[in-house]
Every structure is written in structure tokens, then in C-alpha cells.
Amino acid sequence: MLTRRCFLAAVVTVALARAAAAQSVYLGEAPLLDASFRVKLKLDVKGKIIVQRQGKTEAINHQASAEHRYTERVLAARYGMAERAARWYEAAQATIAGQPRSLRPDRALMVAHRLKDRVMVYSPRGPLFPEEMELTEHIDTLALPGLLPNKEVKVGETWIVPTHVVQALCGLDSLEGQFKQEVVGELKSVVGNVATISLHGVVKGRQLGAPVAIHVTGATRLTFDIKQQRLTAVAWRQSDERAPGPANPHLALDVAIDVERSPGAAPPELGDAVL
């Protein structure tokens, strides 16, 4: 009797697993216009600076880290991505080669505005120091919704991430040819209201005049809330090979970016009267 119960339980478990695998879910964000998100970013970079000295190649260890906390209110959206947003930074700090950097409190209000293929970030309350500008050049959270296919997808199905989304998230000035990138998304699992997505692919382009090859590793994961229709977390993992250029040395880097993204009401600092 016990054996029969165990067998039936196993049959039911397999049937449920197959049903879950066959289930399709819509992977696309709800309307973005006027939506607000509280964002936490954490960046960790480790790698080598490769230099030539007296005819010999030397590799110098390089490390950088950064943390950002801000609320982002979308002011304009198009093609499933935010085009313009106001941001209120609670914190923005980084350590690059042992040197700390932070944002002045009176520059907490920022506007991020996509113009053509670039996101321009500026402070309505006055100019920024160069070090402060670098603090705003983190991963483009306006582009994150573009990673989703905006259609019904079953577990195991894949899709190609659009070129302009890849360029924005990799922070490249241009891509090397129309088909020199292919980042693939895959729906890995659906548990309750949570869908888990993986990304992987290779991107080739240019930044500050230098060739860049970026490998988006399979460890990259997205968490999507099916009920709210919002991306709530991104674990972005990439390995970079950056050739020497006019403004940068030769770099080989491993980059880890963790994003927590919580939808909610806009704070008073981003209210209608302020904007």
C-alpha cells in the first residue's frame, strides 16, 4: 500500500512539473510612464591593467566598487524602455583604485535623458564635478525593461535581446557591425508569481574610441514578478577585454552588478511641484 502511494505521489509530481514547464507566462513590463522604482545598485570590478614597460608586458591588479541607492520616476517612455526619468539619490559612492568618491547632498536630484544611443545625466541644480559625473555612469536602469521579450513565453524558450538594449546596458558608444552582438534570454523557471530568466551572449563594440569585447556570462539572472509585471532584481555578470585606446589602457575585467528594483510611490523629492 505504501509503495503504491509513493508511486502515485511520484506520478503527480512529474505531472505537475510537466504542466509547469508547459505553462506560458507574459514577460513584459506594465506601462512605465509615471511609474517609480526604488533602486539599489552594487558594483564590483576586478581585473588587470595591462601595460608595456621597457619592452615587457606587465599586468597590474585593478579593483573598484560602488554602491548607489536612488528612486527613479519615469517621465517619458517608448518601445518598452524609459526615455527620461528624474532621480533622487540617497547615496552614490565609489572606491576606484583605493580612492573614495561621493555625491554632494545638494546634487541628489538628477535627470537621466536618453538622446539617440546615449543617456545624458545632469543636475538641474548646478554643474557636477568630473568625479560626480562618473558616479552617474552606472548601469542604465532605464533600459532594464528592454531585456524582456514582451510576449508569452514557456519555460525553456529563448529570445534575442534587441541591439539598442544591449548597447545601453553594456555602456558602449557603438557596436561593431549590425550583427556583432547576440545576447539571448531564456525563461528558466516559474515558481508562484516569480519568473527566473537567464542571459548570455557576446557583444563587440567601441567605447571612448577603443574596441571592446564583452561576454555576458550565463550566471546573469533576472527576477520578474508576474503579478506586478515588474523586473525586481538583476544579477548582471560580464567579462570584458578592452583594447588600449586614446583614453584608456588595455584592460581585462570581471564585472558583477547587482540591482534591486522595487516599484512604489514617488517620494516628495520627486513630486509634481518639484519637477
Quote the CA–CA distance of 15 and 13 in Å, as a whole number. Answer: 5
Per-residue confidence (pLDDT) for residue 251, from 0 to 100: 81
CA distance 216 to 236: 8
Task: Tell me the C-alpha distance between 208 and 242, whole Å.
Answer: 11
Question: Euclidean distance between the first and final Cα of the chain, in Å?
Answer: 70
Q: Is 163 exposed, middle or buried (0-12, 13-18, 19+ CB in 10 A)?
A: middle
- Taking alpha carbons only, the member of 181, 173, 170, 172 closest to residue 237 is 170
Show the cell assigned to 261.
528594483
Residue 175, CB-side half-sphere exposure with 13 Å CA sphere? 20
pLDDT of residue 253: 86
User: Rounded to two decimals, what is the model's pTM?
Assistant: 0.85
pLDDT score for 72: 97
Per-residue pLDDT of the chain (275 residues; tens, 9 = 90+): 445 454 444 444 444 444 445 579 999 999 999 999 999 999 999 988 877 776 777 777 888 899 999 999 999 998 888 999 999 999 999 987 778 889 999 999 999 999 877 889 999 999 999 999 989 989 999 999 999 999 999 999 999 999 889 888 988 888 876 546 789 999 999 999 999 999 999 998 888 778 888 999 999 999 999 999 999 999 999 998 888 777 677 888 889 999 999 999 999 999 999 88
Position 173 scores a pLDDT of 83
pLDDT at site 5: 53
**So what's the pLDDT on residue 249?**
78
